[in-house]
Each structure stands twice: as structure tokens, then as C-alpha cells.
Structure 1
Amino acid sequence: MTTIKEVAEKAGASVTAVSLSLNHRENGHVNKELAEHIRKTAKKLGYHPNPMARSLRTSRTRTIGFISEEIATTPYAGELILGAQDAASELGYMMLMVVTDGKADEAKEIASLKRYGADGFLYAKMHNRISNIPRSLSNEQTVLINARDAKDHVPNITPDEVAIGYDATTKLIDSGAKRIAYIGCSDDLIAEPLRRKGYEQALTDAGMSVNPNLEIRVPNDGPCLERISELFDTQQPDAFFCFNDARTWYIYQCAAQRGLQIGRDISLIGVDNNRIVSETFEPRPTTIELPHYEMGYWGARKLISLIEGRELKTIDTTGMVAEIPELDAPNPVFIRCALIERGSVASKASHRE
């Protein structure tokens, strides 16, 4: 195992200079070029800090706690957790996770993380909502993921719900659609009115009228099919923006019953990039992907920057679906979601026929 002394000898620097540079505390002590040379040398030698020794020096364990409520039972939990874990690992931290799904007492689970010496906490929700962090975290470094802090005192990140509706509807408008319906959700969710707001704003900005008869809010079951079927017959929309991918199923069914083809006669866009839907339907539905990995990644980096009291280097986001916001972005932080284009949006020529 490579030691700091060996790095110092190879880099031609003092042990103190190496220690300061590897801990990014070189400002005013080690010149920038030498600090960068030391870090490159350490990387080349395969140097890894001893976490136990570091924790004794800094009174930090380099461990963060991830607290979720039901999120581990959702299909997107893996990406949220993976994003946070990847960011923590890259910065030399370990992540411990607890799930409070009604079977476990949240206060006890948080207390157990504190006993392990967690330096800070990620508090995640399974869908976008207004939330208050537990009282036991009020004096801890904490970041909310996929939720808004009720008072915006705690750093938080959520999808840009208005932009979801706006971007999806704009894509449908650009395809030549003239009668775009919105299939909303009847549940009391923060995302629902915000996505509808984006839908209506896109129509207005394009000089198209907002027609209340083309907007419905439905549950995700039998009544949904009945309402959409009625909408097909009474309003004859040529495109649909759906609150989520699950609701696109009813569009496919109603179109098939009327001899209409998705991607030619009818255009549609959903939200969340549900794997079951995207891998089952043909043509595969165009969708807006919710950035669970990116929210988890940003949340962990934000938390660690707070724990260490320093700015973190800009990262390479190549390969990520959504653009990561700056860590110093003001609360609340919104992340714009990516449009995943497939075959369910007709061409302009198809809409003109």
C-alpha cells in the first residue's frame, strides 16, 4: 500500500505539502502547479487514503446516511440510490442506507445512522412532494432528494415538472399536432398541476388556444380507459401528453380499436421511461425520463460539499441523461429532464394528411 511518504519522495515534495494537496487544503500553503503534480503522482502510484486514520484526524467518518420512505419499493429506487452511491464513492465516502416504510421507526433508524457516525444525511422521497425533514435531522447536514423542503431551508433537488409538460407539448406541436390532449392524474400530487401548467404554457407560446375539453384527470384503472375512449370520440385529438407512461397504454388501446396507428395517425408522449411500457409497446413510446440517477448524484455531491465546507471540482457529465445543476444553485434546485425520442410521435407530414 502506497504511503504519503512515498508520494512525497516521488513528487519531490514535503510530506506536509502532499497531505495538504491530497486533502485540497493547499491554498496559501502549496502553489497550484505543485499541488496538481502531487495529486497526479498519487494517482499514478495508486495511493488511497487510510479512512480510519483520516477520521481520527478530522473527526469525520467519511460516511453518509441515506434515508428513504418507501422509495426502495419503487421501480426507480435503484437509479436514485446508485447515483448517490457513485458520487459518494468517487469522493471517498461510504453510504449507509435505511428504509422507513411504515414497518420501521424513522427516529430509531436515524439514531442508528448517527451511532455509526454518519457525517451527513440524504433524505429521499418516492415522488416529488413538499416535505419536512425529521426533527432529529434539524441540526445535521442534510439534503432532500426528489422533494421540496417546506421552508426551502434545506438544500433540495426535484425534477423541473413545469419543463416536463412544456418540453413534451412543444415536441408534439413541432410534429404538426393541432389538437393536443392532456391525460392527467387524479391523485393529489405536486407534479400534476405543474406538468399541466407546462402543457398549457407551451400551447399559449405557440399561439394555440388552451381547450379545457382536451384536458382530463383520471386514475390509472378502468375509468381511465372509459374517459379516454370518450375523449377520442368527442374531441378527436391528434396527440396526447400523458402524466406518466402507464397512462399511454389506454391511448394505444383506444387507437387500435378505431383503426388508428400510434406514430402515424396519433402522437403521444409519456413521462418516466417505464421499462415495462417502453419494452412492450410498439411503436415504443417517446417519453420524458425522470432523472433519478442524476438527482441522487447531485444530492450526494451537495451533501459532501457541505460536510467538507468546500467547493467540489466540476464533473464530466458525459453519459448522463440529464444535465447536473451547479452545486451552488439557489434553493429550490430543479433539474431539467431529457426527452427520449422513439416512434410514437408522428412526422409533420403525417399530421397534415
Structure 2
Amino acid sequence: MTTMKEIARQTGVSVSTVSLVMNHRDAGRVKPEIASRVRETARQLGYQINPMARSLRTNSTRILGFISDAVATTPYAGGMILGAQSAASRLGYMLITVSTDGGMKEDDEIDALKRYGADGFLYAKMSNRITDVPSKLLDYPVVLTDATDRNGVIPSVEPNEFLIAYDATTHLIKAGCERIAYVGCSETMIAQEGRLAGYRAALENAGRDFDERVVTNVPNNGPALREVSTLFDAEHPDGFFCFNDARAWYVYECAARRGLTVGKDISVVGVDNHRVFAETLEPQLTTVELPHFEMGYWAATKLISMIENRPMNDIEWPKTTAPLPPIDAPIPAKIHCTLLEKGSVAR
């Protein structure tokens, strides 16, 4: 097993310098070029930190707790967990995930993570919403993921809902659509408010009037199909921006019943890049991908920066579909999501 003494001998520095670098305490103490050389030598020699020894020295376990109310019941949780785990692993931490759905009591799961000695917590929701942080977490470093602290104090990360809609609607305008409908969500939530505002702003910035007659906010069931059908017959839109990919399915269904071809007679843009809808609809659905991996990665990195009290200026962000905001972004940090062009928008 490679030791710090071997790394020190290879790089010509002291063991204490190697310790500072490998424990991420080199900022302002070790010249960047020396720190870089130490890290590269450690990588080449296959150096692995002994987590038990480190925890005894530092009173830190390097364990992060990930708490969610929907880990087991949503197709997006995996991406968020993968992002958090990737960042944690890259920075020398372990991620332990617990779910509070299925009858599990949140306080009990938090207590269990505390018994493992978690240094900090990620508190995740699976649809962007305002939430209260559990009181049991308030004496620990905490970052919210896909949620916003009601008091605006706890660091958090979420999709930029306004730009999701602005970009999607602008894409339809540039494709030549003259009458663009919004098929929204009937629930009151951050995403609905932001996307309706972004849709409206894109129209107005293009010199078009906002028309409530082409806006319908629907649930995810049979009545939604009837409302979208009524919209087709009463207003005859040639473009549709949909709150999510599931609602885009209603547009495809209504078009088929009227002998219209998506991507030719009408254009449709959804949100989510949901595998079931975005890849199985024909033509494939142009959609704005929600940044679940990116949110998880940013949140874990932010949490570690809080635990270690360092700015993370020396880290290299991974290549992601959506660009990651700076670690010191205002609360909430917002991620500008990426529109994926497929076949549902007429050219």
C-alpha cells in the first residue's frame, strides 16, 4: 500500500506537505504547482486514503447522508443519486442514501444517519418545491436538492424553470409557429409558475401578445386529454410547449385523432427527457432535459465545501449536459437546462 512517505520521497517535499494536499488543506499553505504535482504522483502510485485512520485523526467520517421522500418511486432519483455519489467519490467521501417514502419515518432515518457519523446531509425532493428543512438537520451542514428552503437560508439547487420555458417557446417561435399553446400543470408549484412566466416572456419579447385562450393547465389523467382536445378544436395551435413529456403525449394523441402529423403539421416541445415518452413517441419528442445528475453533483460538492470550509476553486467540474453554476451561486442556485432537438418540431 502506497504511503504519504513514498509520495513525499517521489515529489521531493515533506510528509506534512503531502498530508495537507491529500486532506484538502493546502489552500494558502502549499504552492498550487507543488500541490498539483503531489496529487498527480499520488494518482500514479495508486494512493488510497484510509478512511478509518482519517476519521480518528479528524473526528470526521467523510460520510454524506442523502435523504429523499421519493428515492424508490421516481425515475429521476437515480440520476440525482448518481450525481451526488460521483461528486462524493471524487472528493473522497461516501454517500449513504435513505428513503422516507413507503412508511419510513423521516426522523428515524435522520437519527440512523447521525449514528453512522454523517458529516452533512443532502435533503432532496423529486419535484421542485418550497420546503421546510427538518429541525434535526439544522445543526449540521445541509444542502437542498431540487427544492428551495422556505426561509431562503439553506443552500439549494434547482432547475431554472423560467429559462426552461423561455428556451422552449423561443425554439417554437424560431421554427415558424404562429399560435403557440401552453399545456401546463394544474397543481400550484414552483415549476408551473416559472414555466408559465418564461412562456409568456418569450412571446412578449418576440412581439407577440399573451393569449389566455391557448393556455390550459391540466392534471395527468383523462380530463387532461379532453381539455387538450378542446384546445385543438377551439384555438387550432400550430405549436405546443408542454409542462412535461407526459402532457406532450396528450398532444400527440389529439393530433393523431385529427390526422395531423407531429413535426410536420404541428410542433411540440416537452420537458423532462423522460425515457418512456421522449424516446418512444414517434417522431421522438424535442424536450428540455431536467438536470438531475447535475443537481446531485453540485449539491454534494457544495455540501463538502461547507464541511471543509473551502471554496473549491481548485476542482474541475465534469462534462455535463447542462453547465453547473459556481459553488458560491446565490440561493437558490439555478441550472440552465439543455434543450434536446429531436423530431417533433417542424423545420
TM over 0.5: yes
Most deviating of 327-336 and 28-37: 28-37
SS state of the match for residue 128, structure 1? strand
Tell me the residue number matched to 2:341. 341
- The Cα of 1:33 is off from its aligned counterpart by 2.8
Which residue identity is paired with 2:83? G
CA distance in 2, matches of 1:82, 1:231: 40
Tell me the residue number matched to 1:185. 185
Which residue identity is paired with 2:133? I
Which residue identity is paired with 2:40? K
1:232 to 1:103, Cα distance in 2 relative to 1, 3 A: same
Tell me the residue number matched to 1:78. 78
8 Å CA contact retained: 1:317, 1:323: no
Tell me the residue number matched to 1:199. 199
Tell me the residue number matched to 1:350. none
Q: Does 1:33 align with 2:52?
A: no
- 1:95-152 C-alpha deviation (Å, 9 max, x unpaired): 1111111511111110110011000000000111000110001111000000000011
Tell me the residue number matched to 2:113. 113
- The Cα of 1:27 is off from its aligned counterpart by 4.4
- The Cα of 1:317 is off from its aligned counterpart by 3.1
- The Cα of 1:321 is off from its aligned counterpart by 1.0
- The Cα of 1:71 is off from its aligned counterpart by 3.3
Tell me the residue number matched to 1:272. 272
TM-score, reference length from structure 1: 0.95
CA distance in 1, matches of 2:5, 2:26: 17
8 Å CA contact retained: 1:65, 1:120: yes
SS state of the match for residue 72, structure 1? coil
1:66 to 1:37, Cα distance in 2 relative to 1, 3 A: same
Which residue identity is paired with 1:270? G
TM-score, reference length from structure 2: 0.97
SS state of the match for residue 299, structure 1? helix
Q: Does 1:166 align with 2:166?
A: yes
Tell me the residue number matched to 1:243. 243
Most deviating of 188-197 and 75-84: 188-197
Q: Does 1:209 align with 2:209?
A: yes
8 Å CA contact retained: 2:325, 2:333: yes
CA distance in 2, matches of 1:166, 1:26: 43
Which residue identity is paired with 1:117? G
> Tell me, which stretches of 5 or more residues in structure 1 are unaligned?
348-353
Tell me the residue number matched to 2:136. 136
> Tell me, which stretches of 5 or more residues in structure 2 are unaligned?
none
Tell me the residue number matched to 1:308. 308
8 Å CA contact retained: 1:79, 1:292: yes
1:13 to 1:206, Cα distance in 2 relative to 1, 3 A: same
- Give % identity: 55
CA distance in 2, matches of 1:12, 1:140: 39
CA RMSD after TM alignment: 1.2
8 Å CA contact retained: 2:77, 2:126: yes
Tell me the residue number matched to 1:218. 218
1:203 to 1:28, Cα distance in 2 relative to 1, 3 A: closer
1:30 to 1:244, Cα distance in 2 relative to 1, 3 A: closer
8 Å CA contact retained: 2:82, 2:293: yes
Which residue identity is paired with 2:81? I
- The Cα of 1:79 is off from its aligned counterpart by 0.3
CA distance in 1, matches of 2:138, 2:152: 13
- The Cα of 1:245 is off from its aligned counterpart by 0.4
- 1:45-83 C-alpha deviation (Å, 9 max, x unpaired): 111111111111111000000000123310101001110
CA distance in 2, matches of 1:35, 1:280: 49
Tell me the residue number matched to 1:351. none
Tell me the residue number matched to 2:318. 317
Q: Does 1:45 align with 2:13?
A: no
Tell me the residue number matched to 1:157. 157
CA distance in 2, matches of 1:75, 1:84: 16
Tell me the residue number matched to 2:327. 327
8 Å CA contact retained: 2:70, 2:77: no
Which residue identity is paired with 1:58? T
- 1:243-292 C-alpha deviation (Å, 9 max, x unpaired): 11011111111111212110011000011111111222110010011100
Q: Does 1:18 align with 2:15?
A: no
CA distance in 2, matches of 1:85, 1:102: 23
8 Å CA contact retained: 2:183, 2:243: yes
Tell me the residue number matched to 2:290. 290
SS state of the match for residue 268, structure 1? strand
- The Cα of 1:24 is off from its aligned counterpart by 3.0
Moved over 6 A (4+): none
SS state of the match for residue 129, structure 1? strand
CA distance in 1, matches of 2:34, 2:237: 65
8 Å CA contact retained: 1:148, 1:156: yes
1:96 to 1:209, Cα distance in 2 relative to 1, 3 A: same
